[in-house]
Chain A
């Protein structure tokens, strides 16, 4: 079945630092890869969706791309702010209802002023 590996459990940054989070994936279907962000006390919300390899998804200053050759996808932001502190999940879309979304373990990003 589908799987997603997200190894960075925690990232601590200062404001204006560069953020980079990486995931790897495994699937037998053509992948649609997602980044969700979860703020304290809230459910995850979609940040970016990437459906085509090497194409860039952009939202709220975040960029996401995926590389089919290395089966990896990443999220980056050039200059983080304290308000970007949250948990970021990479996810893979399942193409049947039983799979739903396959999530990575999440990366807790803490940004300090």
Chain B
């Protein structure tokens, strides 16, 4: 049963454009995350967001920024996409922190031409 929702499913854009992806969780969780899954299926944490506190993985380029209106929503904005941004972006949530089970959404696949 899906409780972490992501839109769109798929997005194609050109280099330099701005894109934004949405994520909503209906689990009442306190922490949300964004992960990037590359073409080889490697999953890496990008951001964690808990109680208005944003934790950024140091390897994430500055053109990426998460945006949250409340604890149920964590969107991802990419200011000026580059070809290496082509990937699947997965949103997840957990009850409190990363030691609690993380529930993933179905992902947004981004293709940058």
The chain A residues found within 8 Å of chain B, CB to CB, are 32, 38, 41-46, 49, 87, 89, 93-103, 105-106, 108
A105 / chain B contacts, CB cutoff of 8 Å: 40-42
Shortest A106–chain B CB gap in Å is: 4
Asked whether B27 is an interface residue with its Cβ less than 8 Å from the other chain, the reply is no
The chain B residues found within 8 Å of chain A, CB to CB, are 4, 31, 33, 35, 40-45, 48, 50, 53, 55-58, 90, 92, 97-99, 101-107
The binding surface of chain B is classed by DSSP as: strand
Known: A100-B35, A100-B48. A46 touches B41 (CB 8 A): no
A66 to B104, CA, bound (A): 24
Known: A87-B41, A100-B45, A103-B42. A42 touches B98 (CB 8 A): no
Q: Quick check: A101 and B106 within 8 Å, CB to CB?
A: no
Q: Quick check: B105 and A100 within 8 Å, CB to CB?
A: no
Q: Which of B45, B53, B105 contacts A101 (CB 8 A)?
A: B45
In the complex, residue of chain A having the shortest beta-carbon distance to the beta carbon of B104? A43
Known: A32-B99, A100-B48. A43 touches B42 (CB 8 A): no
Q: Quick check: A46 and B102 within 8 Å, CB to CB?
A: yes
B53 / chain A contacts, CB cutoff of 8 Å: 97
Q: Quick check: A99 and B45 within 8 Å, CB to CB?
A: yes
